[in-house]
Amino acid sequence: MNIPKDHPRYRSLTVREHLAEMVEKGLVTPTGMISHGRGEAFDYLMGEKSTIPALEAERAAAAFLLRAANPVICVNGNAAALDPDNLALLAREIPAKIEVNIFHRSEERMEKLIAHMEEHGAEGVLGRRPDSRIPGLESDRALCTKEGIYGSDVILVPIEDGDRAEALADMDKIVISIDLNPLSRTSRAASVSVSDEMTRALENIIRFARELKHDGNEIDRVINGFSNDSNRKSTVEAICGSLMSEFRDVG
Amino acid sequence: MNIPKDHPRYRSLTVREHLAEMVEKGLVTPTGMISHGRGEAFDYLMGEKSTIPALEAERAAAAFLLRAANPVICVNGNAAALDPDNLALLAREIPAKIEVNIFHRSEERMEKLIAHMEEHGAEGVLGRRPDSRIPGLESDRALCTKEGIYGSDVILVPIEDGDRAEALADMDKIVISIDLNPLSRTSRAASVSVSDEMTRALENIIRFARELKHDGNEIDRVINGFSNDSNRKSTVEAICGSLMSEFRDVG
């Protein structure tokens, strides 16, 4: 399909078409498309830009990742399809490990996703040979590696489902979520809830990581000064402000 | 997949799985799944129930449909997949015609959708042999029938895209949208913007139609007393109230 470049929602429609292709290729599941749509709605409510609270959470995310002993970036089908380049770039910048971990697991789909990440510059991607389980999750969804997700102290979960985010938080990990819905179970479970579109979030975290990486004192200040509850509250206030703005003159 | 019945989002996940099957069958497109997800997000913000402004808009929708000379219910892939029974039931109740009209048109998909609607009790479904075009729309998206969409004075468009809703409004039709996002281009273009989940909306409109159909004076009162702008404003206020409710105690 050709989307006219002057369409008011050009970028969003282009991403949709890209994801639809990724469904054909077996990287994204049809229900993954619904998750994307849910995110789109919140992005729309935030004016499709990084809000001030999102930038604060992204700076905190960079600080926690830099301070970690074993930081891991957890990649699922939607994340890999949406922006493999920036996921790989962030992993190099911190440095952090990447582990592919999916809800609808099959060996074929795992292999496709890992190969896709490697084609986009990711190195040493984990997930092929799981040797541990995330406690509290059923069946294949629990599978992970000791070296990666299981042994991580700080874990970045872009576009994660609520069950897994909660299970990871229950393991006393510092969970950093990227989830456009500030009220989702994932955002509620996380220690740092980044409510921003994934590409914007990754680019901002990479930028903040470059800025902070040689300044240990500033990393401490950012970590100590961050409150996730008040950050989520500010995000919701920003959404409501934008929602109500067009009705100022309606009685 | 087996979704546990006590899962906090059981109904929503069941609908997702159903739609994923409909993608396999070719009734729903992968990008249709994204549209569904966008709607889900707003449904979530409204507490997954019909708000008071939604009920008011649904009563107005029933009144406009009953008053119409040629009321038409426009059905696309998502609508047909989500609730063919209530679409057929509403058409009988008013009575109104049903026309299938899709964004990604192929003869095969049209035939599948019409057959699907007929299996669920819809009669005389239009759309197989279009003989008119909606002005202002490009290519196949404009195709419709003179007897149905083209000649309608009141048209119900559940889950319609913004371009088509605007084009129908430009034809001076009374457009009744069912779209969970009160700020979408579709909701903005409509004369009556129902912001509610489609099944709940249809069931409510059917109930109001039964209540109003023998009371012409009350139909007039409902139509004259309805303001779509203030209804949309109330919807957005309801969403913000629910969004902010969990942060009452956060400083």
What's the confidence (pLDDT) of residue B251? 63
What's the confidence (pLDDT) of residue B87? 98
What whole-number distance in Å separates Cα of residue B134 and Cα of residue B137? 6
Q: Are A194 and A177 in contact (CB under 8 A)?
A: yes
Interstrand relation of A143-144 and B132-133 (parallel, antiparallel or unpaired): unpaired
Mean pLDDT within A202-206? 98
Backbone angles phi, psi at B49, to 5 degrees: -145, 165
What's the confidence (pLDDT) of residue B1? 55
Instruction: Measure B104 CA to nearest chain A CA, in Å.
Output: 9
Instruction: Measure B193 CA to nearest chain A CA, in Å.
Output: 15
User: In chain A, which residues fall in CATH 3.40.50.12640?
Assistant: 52-235
pLDDT at A1 over 70: no
Q: Which residue of A has its CA nearest to B24?
A: A30
| A160-190 confidence digits (pLDDT tens) | 889 999 999 999 999 999 999 998 899 999 9
Out of 1.10.1740.10, 3.40.50.12640, 1.10.1530.10, 3.55.40.10, which CATH number does the structure's domain A52-235 have?
Answer: 3.40.50.12640
Q: Are B182 and B190 in contact (CB under 8 A)?
A: no
Q: Are B55 and B62 in contact (CB under 8 A)?
A: no
Model confidence at B243, pLDDT cuts 50, 70, 90, reads confident
Nearest to B229 among A29, A237, A250 (CB): A250
Q: Which residue of B has its CA nearest to A24?
A: B30
| B16-58 confidence digits (pLDDT tens) | 889 989 988 999 988 889 889 989 889 988 888 999 999 999 9
Backbone angles phi, psi at B193, to 5 degrees: -105, 100
Collapsed DSSP state (helix, strand, coil) of residue B226: coil
| B199-230 confidence digits (pLDDT tens) | 999 999 999 999 999 999 999 999 999 999 99
Inter-chain touch A36–B37, beta carbons under 8 Å: yes
Cross-strand pairs, A98: A73
Which residues of B are less than 8 Å from A239 in CB distance? 243
| A26-66 confidence digits (pLDDT tens) | 999 888 898 899 898 899 888 889 999 999 999 999 999 99
Inter-chain touch B19–A37, beta carbons under 8 Å: no
